[in-house]
Amino acid sequence: MPKDRPELPPVEELLATAVTALGGVERPGQVKMAQAVRDAVESEEHLAVQAGTGTGKSLAYLVPAIRHAAESGDAVVVSTATIALQRQLVDRDLPRLADALEGLLPHRPEFAILKGRRNYLCRHKMAAGMPEDEDDQLFDPREVSATGRMVQRIQEWANETETGDRDEIVPGVSDQAWRQFSVTARECLGAQRCPSGADCFAELARERAGEADVVVTNHALLAIDAMEDFAVLPEHDVVVVDEAHELVDRVTSVVTGELSESTVGLAVRRVGRLVEQGIADRLQEAGEDLRALLTVAPPGRVDTLPQSLGMTLALIRDAAFACITALGPRNKDKDDPENAGLRKAAFTALDDVHDTAQRMLDAFGPAAGDDTDDADDAANGAHAGDAGSEEVHRAEVVWLEEGRGRVPPTLRVAPLSVGGMLRDKLFGDRTVVLTSATLALGGTFDGLARQWGLRAGEWTGLDVGSPFDHPRRGILYVATHLPQPGRDGLPEAYVDEIAELIEAAGGRTLGLFSSMRAAKAATEALRERLDVPLLCQGDDSTSQLVKQFAGDPATCLFGTLSLWQGVDVPGSSLTLVIIDRIPFPRPDDPLASARQRHVAATGGNGFMAVAATHAALLLAQGAGRLLRSMDDRGVVAVLDPRLATARYSGFLLNSLPPFWRTTDPAKVRDALRRLTSGS
């Protein structure tokens, strides 16, 4: 340790003080995790820690993080996937921890939350210094008036807010309304040039973060900070990634590009008054061509670039470039902030359109779209059965999403893997601690480590287990007597099985379905048969439904993906978790299928590396809804018999908590009756 570093109490002492002050009980897994985080920070080696629900993992990383910040003077960044966890850290854990540790450290630990610029009110845009992005297609009068009411609420809130943080607005507002008061980092004029720079909410949040010991952020901003040339987060040498099982998906979202008539239309509206009409018209026409093509094209992955699409993408790219050139030098209006705002917004939208069109063309090989003969040859080659070598070389995947309502069909592009990017940019020059209740899939961290781009020897993995006594408090029931789930909705036998289980449990059931269609079908069929209240996702806001479910033990809640990960209901209201089928990605999921084929083409087992890993993660998350406190008991019932019979079932079962297992329906119904008769 350098001479000028303060002597601080050991992590174990700080943790014990914090746990006592917060009225908790010190748990062996928590101490083990805190020590491992300390060791990782000291040895500068990346660490993946699986810590089951009830471990107290946020204290286990916050205490060594705060100690490191106090000792080194550098901030530690804590990144989360969800707003719920961000709030828990900033509103509950960190203030109490700062109070508890204040007397043991040289100064009271400071903390701050930092989000992407678009999450803060932009005072300059508010003062009408930049264009409003009204969507021409917003013609439904009900939506117009709903957006109008939200706009009014934002304006009222803007006069009172001290942080400008969108998440303060309750109830929340739509992206559509919020966009009229916010800018992206690339649209921002920069505090030096902006007339509102001195009072800018985003700049103030950055200043606060610059003085903090712990900066809480989200995975998206962490990815942007790591990948962009400019720093978004304050200088730091340690990052804790909580909810790390979400990291790859969040980073993939950040780097996914999209192109549709809407994105092109936005660029046209922004550039419209700044360049000659004819130049903007060319871009508008290319956008209309795109819509015409995408409307008749089949949704899904675009394996080979059709000639017409290649030509349209090239037209869009060139028309956007012509607009960019017509706008002139980028710093032309530096002494005219109002015009600079308009131009900056136009440049940002045009750059997006231009770069995304080029990126999509590049995804099909060099010069795709520029030379249609070559493009056709490439397409023919791919059709001729050389898909394997195509998969090896192709780095990005392009797919088409169907239009829905007023959202036009949209073409998207995303990398096959973000591992290389994470390896170079995130893991390259800082120590990263990744943690979650679910990281060891099939009993090993290797699957996720590969997706993060980490190689053997560059990281260590630690499973600190769970304080829950899974074999005594939970049963895993696999309904091997049922047929395999089919493609045509929920089999009748599944509905009967669900009814019998819910009757035995007296309600108290969380139904996790692999599709909204199945959740709705089960709800409809069972509302007629059962006399317990049945809620279905979509009936109301998810938080409201979860509240109702938690408040009445007889009530059941059925739903899909967000319930798999987002429900935290301790107590007897949740005694039975039903999972209808193993949650593999849909066979037509373009990114998952491309990733699977890529792994296979490079000699790996694509199914296990992608589909089974995805299913294991979700299954473990779903099963993790059951035991939320030391007193909880109950059953996880998986109706899909493949969990016990398929060749990959061992991998999936090894990803789940060690519940007592049975395939006997009578035994499980008896257990449910016994469990709920006394409560």
Single out the residue of 92, 78, 88 nearest to residue 216, CA to CA: 78
Task: Name the residue type at position 660.
Answer: W
Choices 194-202, 425-433, 523-531, 599-607 (CB under 6 A): range interacting with ligand SF4: 194-202
**Which residue of 8, 90, 158, 191 would you call a contact of ligand SF4, by CB under 6 A?**
191
SS3 state of residue 240: strand
Looking at the DSSP bridge assignments, the partners of residue 576 are: 509, 635
Shortest distance in whole angstroms from residue 171 CB to ligand SF4: 24
Of 98 and 189, which CB lies nearer to ligand SF4 in the complex structure?
A: 189
* Residue tagged 């985080």 (tokens): 37
Which CA distances in Å does 318 have to 263, 325, 366, 369, 399? 15, 10, 16, 11, 22
Shortest gap between Cβ of 192 and ligand SF4 (angstroms)?
9
Query: Contact between 114 and ligand SF4 (CB under 6 A)?
Result: no
Q: Does 609 bind ligand SF4 (CB under 6 A)?
A: no
By beta-carbon proximity to ligand SF4, the closer residue of 122 and 368 is: 122
Question: Is residue 478 a contact residue for ligand SF4 (CB under 6 A)?
Answer: no
Q: Which of 18, 112, 202, 315 binds ligand SF4 (CB under 6 A)?
A: 202
Listed in order, strand segments (DSSP E) in 586-665 are 634-638, 660-662
Nearer to ligand SF4, 196 or 621 (CB): 196
Tokens encoding 245: 């099982």
* Closer Cβ to ligand SF4, 201 or 659, answer by number: 201
How far apart are CB 204 and ligand SF4 at their closest, in Å?
9
Q: How far is the CB of 366 from ligand SF4 (least distance, A)?
A: 38
Per-residue burial over 408-431, b if 16 or more Cβ lie within 10 Å, else e, is bbbbbbbbbbbbebbeebbbeebb
Nearest distance, CB of residue 233 and ligand SF4, angstroms: 17
Q: Where are the beta strands (DSSP E) in 137-230?
A: 214-218
Nearest residue (CB) to ligand SF4, 38 versus 117: 117
| Residue whose entry in the numeric block shows the structure tokens 């930049």 | 130
Helix (H, G, I), strand (E, B) or coil at 512: strand
Question: What CA–CA distance (Å, rounded) separates 286 from 352?
Answer: 15
Instruction: Tell me: does residue 124 bind ligand SF4 (CB under 6 A).
Output: yes
Does position 194 interact with ligand SF4 (CB under 6 A)? The reply is yes
Rounded Cα–Cα distance for residues 599 and 594 (Å): 9
**Least distance in Å: CB of 190 to ligand SF4?**
6
Cα–Cα–Cα angle for 186, 591, 78, rounded to 5 degrees: 50
- Size of residue set near ligand SF4 by CB under 6 A: 15
* Amino acid present at 231: A
Q: Which of 9, 172, 197, 658 binds ligand SF4 (CB under 6 A)?
A: 197
The residue from 119, 196, 514, 593 that contacts ligand SF4 (CB under 6 A) is 196
Minimal distance in Å, beta carbon 160 to ligand SF4?
A: 18
Least Å distance between CB 122 and ligand SF4?
3
Q: Is 19 among the residues that bind ligand SF4 (CB under 6 A)?
A: no
Handedness of CA 137, 141, 146, 149 (dihedral sign): positive
Footprint on residues 637-666 left by ligand SF4 (CB under 6 A): none
Q: Minimum CB separation from ligand SF4 for residue 200, in Å?
A: 3
Q: Considering the complex, state which of residue 28 and residue 190 has its C-beta at the smaller distance from ligand SF4.
A: 190
Ramachandran quadrant class, 675 (left: phi over 0; alpha: psi -120 to 50; beta: rest): alpha
Residue whose pair of structure tokens reads 């195509």 in the numeric block: 390
Which residue bears the tokens 């997706």? 451
Is residue 146 a contact point for ligand SF4 (CB under 6 A)?
no
Residue 328: CA count within 13 A, CB half-sphere: 10
CB 24 to ligand SF4: min, Å:
40
Selected from 32, 123, 470, 625, the binder of ligand SF4 by CB under 6 A is 123
Q: At its nearest, how many Å lie between ligand SF4 and the CB of residue 125?
A: 6
Tell me how far apart the alpha carbons of residues 225 and 230 are, in angstroms, rounded to a whole number.
7
- Which two structure tokens, joined as six digits, stand for 526? 């069972």
Q: Which helix (H) or strand (E) holds 411?
A: strand 410-415
Whole-number Å distance between alpha carbons of 519 and 457: 44
Mask 149-188, x = binds ligand SF4 (CB under 6 A)? Answer: ----------------------------------x----x
Which residues here bind ligand SF4, judged by CB under 6 A?
A: 117, 122-125, 183, 188-189, 191, 194, 196-197, 200, 202-203
